[in-house]
Structure 1
Amino acid sequence: MKAIMMTAIGNPDVLELHDIDEPEISTATQVKVRLKAAGVNPVDTKIRHSGLLYDHPLPVVLGCDGAGEVIETGSAVSQFKPGDKVWFCHGGLGREQGNYAEYTVLDQRWVSLMPQTCSFAEAAALPLVLITAWGGLFDRGGLQAGQTVLIHAGAGGVGHVAIQLAKLKGARVIATVRSEQKAEFVKAMGADEVILYTQDGLADAVNELTGGKGADLVFDTVGAEVFKASIPATAHFGRLVTLLDPGELSLAEARMRNLLIGFELMLTPMLRDLPEARDKHVEILKQCAQWVDRGLLKTHISKQLPLAEAAKAHELIETGHSTGKIVLTV
């Protein structure tokens, strides 16, 4: 089969199209999927640039997000049959095969029926960002109806679905973006107010919108400087959740505000082999599939590229300016 192989640690040109053996079912509960599309996420570029998350020799196939059609099932598979259209977040971290390929094999436990109204490309764009946004907003952030949430980088892959999930919960959403064009985009996604992000003026802008209170929850999808600037924008007794390492900084103001600080790394259940936590991920996909089919949740694909152009997809993500998601079609 055709697959994109990460042949070394380095720049996007280490991603090469190769012919490799098709994976085969090896346990009774596995399904074989003909992949139709693979989502491209920032974690893919970080692994390519910095190294695998497992002690495994190169080359490997990257790509956590996949969507496709079941073509074969193991003897004990009870949930799926050939012809089922499925989506999932599995592999691509350096141990199990990722989804930059024509076929994959995985246990039925980690698979879910994709939304009926989605294309394969749209389905492949969603799993990792949906699970991440859900975890940050609800599991770590405890977001409730009527609360105000500040979502950083609202036009990004995680950000644009986080806005929609927060609105489905009944929250008021303030989003930060870096351009007027992206401001219009996040408004279309449901943001109630938009701040053109400047680090120095963030707290003042949020406090002006909230009558001096600050946001009940701040969801940082950017990193250390944004995390630091978000502390005075968070309400006293509020929550500040980040996807990244905030680095070394003074937490004196966070302590004075009695903030709950949380970290959301949706890869932890895969990296630490926590099957019950991964079960929760599948339940999130099932719930979100219902919302997608009801027209309450959608993804924005800024670029759709053929599998052979995986290197170009990585280049686009690393500019930091893409809106929504980038997808490879197989």
Structure 2
Amino acid sequence: MKAVVMTGAGAPDVLELRDLPVPRIERPTQVLVRLKAAGVNPIDTKVRQRGTFISNGSPDILGCDGAGIVEAVGSHVSAFGPGDAVYFCFGGLGGSQGNYAEYAVLEQHCLTPKPQSLSFEEAAAAPLVLITAWEALYDRARLCAGQRVLIQAGAGGVGHVAVQLAKGQGAAVVTTVSDTQKADFVKKLGADLAILYPEEDVVEAVLAWTEGDGVDVAFDTVGGETFYQTCEAVKVYGDVVTLLQPSELGNLKGARQRNLRIGLELMLTPMLLNLQEEQAEQAKILRECGRLFDGGSLRVEVNQVFPLAEAAEAHRQLEAGSMVGKLVLGMD
């Protein structure tokens, strides 16, 4: 099979297209998937830069998100059969093979039927950002109907699905964007207000929108100093969920004074710690999102599809920033 392997940790040039053996089913609960597309996520670029979390001596293949067709199943697999279209988030951190390849083997509990309304490229773009936004808003922040929520970087990969999930929960949504084109994009997704952060003070704009109260829930997808800015826009006893490490230069005094509840979201935890029940729960999230896709209340934006051999270029574009939606690798 064709696969993109890491020849070492470093710049995008360490990604190299090679011919490798097709992986084999080794356990009766495993499934062999012929991949049609793989999503490209910021975690892929970070692992490429720093090296994989685990090394088992095999060539390191990146890519957590995948979509494809079941090729073969183990003797104890009952939920899937050859020919089934599936999508999933598994692999790509080291140890388990990622999805920058034409085939992958994974446990059946990680798989979910692909939404019928999505192409393979769209389906491959969705899993990691869907699970991240779902867990952050619904599980960490316990977002409820009628609440007001701030989503930082609403046109990005996680942000643009978070806007939709928040609106689907019956919340009012304010989000930050860098230009008017992105503002139009997030408003079409349902955002009630788009703040142009290069031109406006985000905290002042949020407080004006909430008549001085602040939002009930804030979702920081940016990290660093943005985390502390986000806290300033949240009401007393409100919730903040962040994906990234806050800057060491910030101060949580104001957040403590207003008794904010701060949550950390890392959807990779089940993979990193080999928590199979939690992996199965994340697959249930994707199944529920599949119903939303097919019902027309959720969409995923694919910015560009690259051939598998151009994975390095996809990484360069992602690292350049200001991305609307997601990048995908296509196997055909």
TM range (shorter): over 0.9
CA distance in 2, matches of 1:288, 1:65: 15
- Render the CA deviation track for 1:219-257: whole Å, top value 9, x for unaligned: 000011110111110111001110001132221100111
Contact 1:7/1:14 (<8 A) preserved: yes
- 1:200/1:224 CA distance change after superposition, 3 Å: farther
Please list, as runs of the form range in 1=range in 2, the aligned pairs for 1:117-156 lying within 5 A after superposition.
117-156=117-156
CA distance in 2, matches of 1:53, 1:18: 22
Please list, as runs of the form range in 1=range in 2, the aligned pairs for 1:202-281 lying within 5 A after superposition.
202-248=202-248, 249-281=250-282
Contact 1:155/1:324 (<8 A) preserved: yes
- 1:95/1:206 CA distance change after superposition, 3 Å: same
Aligned to 1:9: 9
CA distance in 2, matches of 1:88, 1:304: 18
Aligned to 1:190: 190
- The question of 1:175 aligning with 2:154 is answered no
Question: What SS does the corresponding residue of 2:175 show, helix, strand or coil?
Answer: strand
| Deviation, structure 1 residue 188 | 1.0
- 1:56/1:198 CA distance change after superposition, 3 Å: farther
Contact 1:199/1:226 (<8 A) preserved: no
- Render the CA deviation track for 1:165-194: whole Å, top value 9, x for unaligned: 011100000010011111111111111101
CA distance in 2, matches of 1:105, 1:298: 27
Aligned to 1:289: 290
- Render the CA deviation track for 1:194-232: whole Å, top value 9, x for unaligned: 101149811111000000011111100001111011111
- The question of 1:66 aligning with 2:93 is answered no
Aligned to 2:322: 321
CA distance in 2, matches of 1:300, 1:36: 17
Aligned to 1:165: 165
Please list, as runs of the form range in 1=range in 2, the aligned pairs for 1:40-119 lying within 5 A after superposition.
40-57=40-57, 59-119=59-119
Contact 1:62/1:97 (<8 A) preserved: yes
Contact 1:149/1:218 (<8 A) preserved: yes
Q: Which amino acid aligns with 1:130?
A: L
Contact 1:219/1:242 (<8 A) preserved: yes
Q: Which ranges in structure 2 are unaligned for 5 or more consecutive residues?
A: none
Percent sequence identity over aligned pairs: 55
TM, length-normalised to structure 2: 0.97
Contact 1:6/1:58 (<8 A) preserved: no
Question: What SS does the corresponding residue of 1:133 show, helix, strand or coil?
Answer: helix
Aligned to 1:312: 313
Q: Which amino acid aligns with 1:170?
A: G
- The question of 1:201 aligning with 2:201 is answered yes
Runs of 4+ in 1 over 2 A off after TM superposition: 55-59
Please list, as runs of the form range in 1=range in 2, the aligned pairs for 1:11-26 lying within 5 A after superposition.
11-26=11-26
Q: Which amino acid aligns with 2:322?
A: H
CA RMSD in angstroms, aligned pairs only: 1.1
CA distance in 1, matches of 2:59, 2:321: 26
Aligned to 2:299: 298
Deviates more, 1:53-62 or 1:226-235: 53-62
Question: What SS does the corresponding residue of 1:46 show, helix, strand or coil?
Answer: helix
CA distance in 1, matches of 2:8, 2:54: 14
CA distance in 1, matches of 2:309, 2:317: 15
CA distance in 2, matches of 1:72, 1:84: 10
CA distance in 2, matches of 1:250, 1:160: 29
Question: What SS does the corresponding residue of 2:201 show, helix, strand or coil?
Answer: helix
- 1:196/1:57 CA distance change after superposition, 3 Å: farther
CA distance in 2, matches of 1:149, 1:56: 43
| Deviation, structure 1 residue 327 | 0.4
CA distance in 1, matches of 2:112, 2:202: 39
CA distance in 2, matches of 1:281, 1:52: 22
Q: Which amino acid aligns with 1:118?
A: L
- 1:17/1:230 CA distance change after superposition, 3 Å: same
| Deviation, structure 1 residue 57 | 4.5
Q: Which ranges in structure 1 are unaligned for 5 or more consecutive residues?
A: none
TM, length-normalised to structure 1: 0.98
Q: Which amino acid aligns with 1:268?
A: T
